Each structure stands twice: as C-alpha cells, then as structure tokens.
Amino acid sequence: MLRIGIAEDDFRVASIHEGFLSKMDDVKIVFKELNAEDTINKIKSVDIDLLLLDIYMPDRLGTELINDIRMIKPELGIIMISAATEKEVVKQALQLGVFDYIIKPVTMDRFIETIEKYRKFQLELDQYKEIDQTFLDQYFGFQSKNQLKEDTPKGIDPLSLQKVNKILREESKGFTAEEMGERMGASRTTARRYLEYLISIGECYAELEYGIVGRPERHYYANI
C-alpha cells in the first residue's frame, strides 16, 4: 500500500488529484492539507511514503518546506505539482531532490504514470542490497550502447528485464529457464522469453547441457 499525502492550497485541485488516486490500486490518501504548517504537522504524525507538494502555499513556498521535510522523514518521496514554470523555481526544486516535477494543469495519464513510476522504483530498490550501475542508469535515464534497449518489445518489461540480467551477473553458474523463473517469481515460459531477449541484445548467451536423464537443456550465462 502506497501512503500518499496531498499538500495543495486549492481544494478543487486537491480533489482532482484525489480522484486520480482513487482510480489506482493499493493507494491510500493519508491527508490533504491546504497550507505548509498543517502539512508539516501531518508529516510528523502519520505514516507516509509519498508527498504531492504544491509550490505556492499561502504561508510558505513548497520548495522552502523540503529541507524541513527531510529533517523529519529523510526517505519521504516528493513529487512537485505546480503551475510554476520559472526556471529558477524549477531548478531549485530539482536540486532539492524531488522525484518528479509536473506542471499544472495535470492530465490523469501523466499523474498516474509518475505515481506508478515511483512505486516501481521503490519496489525495485527494496530488492537490492547494493545498488549497481545498471539500476542507476535506468533511474537517471542514461543509455549506453551496452545497456538494455530503451524500447523493449511487447511482453518485455524493462524492470523485470533488468532483474533477470542482474541475477545472471550475480552468479556465474548459469541458469535454466525453470531456475530463473523460480528466482524472478514467474513461469519458465516467461523466464525463457526474457533470457532469449537478453541473448538477442548481446547481454547473455546459452549453452546446451545434458542433465541426469540425458535430455539437453539450455543454460544461460551473462556475457562479461
């Protein structure tokens, strides 16, 4: 469950954002506040994962709140939603580490997309004990010639693809499609689809190996 707070001085806009969130699964709105002071007090008193923050609040600028918020809940995600388009304002928000910046008026598709992106990022992050360069490159939007392709074909989810690639690189013994399916929580057919795609883009290779009953089976290995 993703627990979200809304800090927006226009109650009509806050209601629109609340309506967007109501169309999503596993989302809970823990508060809606119209000013900075009440927002800070709620952040102190409730469990929250993500804050949707406006800039032009009646008592303080949203950007002025961010350092205070970091002192209270350092790991709280912040998505700035504002009509402010001045370069210095936007630049300041980005430098303060907001996850995303959306300019009003917000479309429902853009709104939901960024919430889902944040959710997927947190779920993926929780699976890592140590962060590798591939994960950071995907987060920051960096693409190199050896990276996974940005436009993956239908049926290939980029985050799942990254997970399969990471599992292959963590162990040198190689995996069958069935073993990979167990590790990634998917069927053997799904795992094979991801593994074969990794072969097609040069990230891994396969060798036929004979099992106990003598039937050859493909084992997949990461390209170093």
pTM: 0.64
With a cut of 60, say whether residue 89 has pLDDT above it: yes
> What does the pLDDT average to over 162-166?
89
The single-letter code of the amino acid at 156 is I
Judge contact between 21 and 29, C-beta under 8 A: yes
With a cut of 60, say whether residue 144 has pLDDT above it: no
CA distance 209 to 220: 10
CA distance 73 to 219: 45
Interaxial angle between packed helices 188-200 and 158-170, expressed in degrees from 0 to 180 and rounded to the nearest 10: 80
Judge contact between 20 and 112, C-beta under 8 A: yes
CA distance 168 to 220: 8
With a cut of 80, say whether residue 129 has pLDDT above it: no
Burial of 134 (0-12, 13-18, 19+ CB in 10 A): middle
> What does the pLDDT average to over 155-165?
87
Average pLDDT in the chain: 88
Confidence of residue 51 (pLDDT cuts 50, 70, 90): very high
On the question of a cis peptide bond just before residue 105, with omega within 30 degrees of 0, the verdict is yes
In this predicted model, which residue has the larger pLDDT, 157 or 54? Answer: 54
With a cut of 80, say whether residue 77 has pLDDT above it: yes
For strands 77-82 and 50-53, give the pairing.
parallel
For strands 216-222 and 204-210, give the pairing.
antiparallel
Token pair 């919430």 in the structure block, residue: 115
Q: What are the chain's domains?
A: 2-126 (3.40.50.2300), 139-222 (1.10.10.10)
Burial of 88 (0-12, 13-18, 19+ CB in 10 A): exposed
Count of helices and strands (H, E) across the chain:
9, 7
